[in-house]
Structure 1
């Protein structure tokens, strides 16, 4: 698989003397089961011995190199200065970094020019996104409640997204250690933090919908990215230990995981289309003047038109669906269909 660009374990071949191994065990004592004898003798992480007496063994991946850049004088001393106060963050995480440069990189925005020691968080965010996606998926799949495929999809969508990651970043105070020099980003972050504090850090996307168009509140992508970049940093710092990452993140996400697993949230787009299969129609995305966001409109025939804003089509479409559901439920226009739908759901699980 290495020719595909996938990292594989180091492979070593060694010659094994079969006749010498056979002397170690008496076939009569094991019932003559040679295959069982060979399997019991086979080292962990190795393949069966071939007819030629060759055994393939696999080693371990080489530990990643430190992200600390060394083009400045005394980089270790500068790193110690830059990390002042970050011991509080490590206590929050309940994880002590072996290489502090990983933590500095995870908390550094591209705009933070004072950090000349590491790259910004974007590469770690890319890695952490994949790590968390896998770990949360594995946990949901192994849940003793044995969720259905549809419920697994809805659960993963509810637990792996920028809104919940940004909310958890603020809830656990990780944003206080985020380093950036972008006034615009600082304003958006502070506004989001204020909303979270006013709502007692409730993980509920309803809080981010202001009015029918949901244009007034933006969930900062950078805060969700930081939640992922820290996961990537812990993964590399712990010598690529998925279990170590999960120990840290399950502590931070346990309440939300249990909350959603007990009552599985449904995708608002799917819910709207199930309740209004013939009348709900989504528009194509319309780019806004700021060039960073798009607007999507959903029209529910005879009941209203609702708009959603997002960084991409998927988020904008989801926001539009949430706005439609919120307003239609508020006006009682979905009451009859909701009662019928809930009854169907009840009998389905009996």
Structure 2
């Protein structure tokens, strides 16, 4: 099982005053290595100082504090309704190996924008944004501190392979996140059901060949990423744990390394090559990627890659990196099929 990356001995000043010239240098307090968030430390590189109330402040960013609870109190007995809505969700907390202190964060993390009957919290989109950044950092840090000391190119390929909606959606389905997903979208429910069935049939394997929706007439592929919402769920729960734990990166890592430890180890032992690099190495003179195009829905990007004499292939994703990789995988699959004939 992968171990958390080592934590540098960061220190902060804990003296009772910094105004007197005759006082010695401030005493130093070392935060425990197991807590990567170092609560209450000042953010930034400038010298922190004490304000009039004796609180340590940072000249640029100010005091770092956790946001308030997302629980809305516009109804009678919101706590009672919260417990009713989260009945049976203890099983998910056991899967996460984390018990929420503020369970409204768990509800928010599992609520889709279509679930209008949730009167207690907002939907998961802000937590998804936060969790995406947190998982990106934690996985990047783990890879950087891996004893195998990967090359810069391998680090890039590893992060691309481990930090994307495809693998997050697969892991969410494997660990049953979809069973607790609160939404009211028939279309989303249909896509989720089909996706989970496919994943159960292939043993929840992490293989990108399972994640292409192919339209042969257009030679276009879309990353499944649809259901993008399932990968978002994986990220939003990470964001919820971070806030609930007092902004502890260690708490998120402890939970999520249990969910994706096998993939972290397998990929680190045999770094996968990015589809873009594989295509450019296979067709160095004939493969040319075009500029990204924003689709009409405003949420997705399309990228085309032309392989001279072989065709033009299109990839769709929520950003340029995903769309480019999907186009490359589409082209690679086409090339492999025709070479086998």
**TM-score of the aligned structures, taking structure 2 as reference length:** 0.79
Deviation string 1:70-119 (CA, Å, 9 cap, x unpaired) is 11111111111111111111111111101110100000001101110011
Q: Aligned in 2, Cα 1:269/1:215: closer, same or farther, shift over 3 Å? A: closer
Q: Secondary structure at the match of 1:332?
A: helix
1:271 shift after superposition: 1.8
1:113 and 2:116 are equivalent in the alignment: yes
Number of the residue aligned with 1:34? none
Distance, in Å, in 2 between the alignment partners of 1:229 and 1:9 is 34
Residues 9, 61 of structure 1: 8 Å contact kept: no
2:162 equivalent among 156, 159, 164 = 159
Identify which range, 142-151 or 184-193, moves more after superposition: 184-193
Distance, in Å, in 2 between the alignment partners of 1:114 and 1:129 is 26
Q: Aligned in 2, Cα 1:134/1:101: closer, same or farther, shift over 3 Å? A: same
Identify which range, 296-305 or 84-93, moves more after superposition: 296-305
1:96 equivalent among 94, 99, 102 = 99
Q: Aligned in 2, Cα 1:15/1:287: closer, same or farther, shift over 3 Å? A: closer
Distance, in Å, in 2 between the alignment partners of 1:83 and 1:10 is 41
Number of the residue aligned with 2:309? 302
Number of the residue aligned with 1:226? 233
Number of the residue aligned with 1:251? 258
Number of the residue aligned with 2:50? none
2:201 equivalent among 198, 211, 214 = 198
Which structure has more RCO (C-alpha within 8 Å, separation ≥ 6)?
2
Q: Aligned in 2, Cα 1:160/1:43: closer, same or farther, shift over 3 Å? A: closer
1:190 shift after superposition: 1.4
Residues 172, 230 of structure 2: 8 Å contact kept: yes
Residues 166, 223 of structure 2: 8 Å contact kept: no
RMSD: 3.1
Number of the residue aligned with 1:172? 175
2:190 equivalent among 162, 180, 187 = 187
Number of the residue aligned with 2:277? 270
Deviation string 1:127-166 (CA, Å, 9 cap, x unpaired) is 1111111111111111000111111111111111110111
> Which one has a larger percent helix, Structure 1 or Structure 2?
1
| Aligned positions, number | 301
Number of the residue aligned with 2:5? none
Distance, in Å, in 2 between the alignment partners of 1:288 and 1:327 is 24
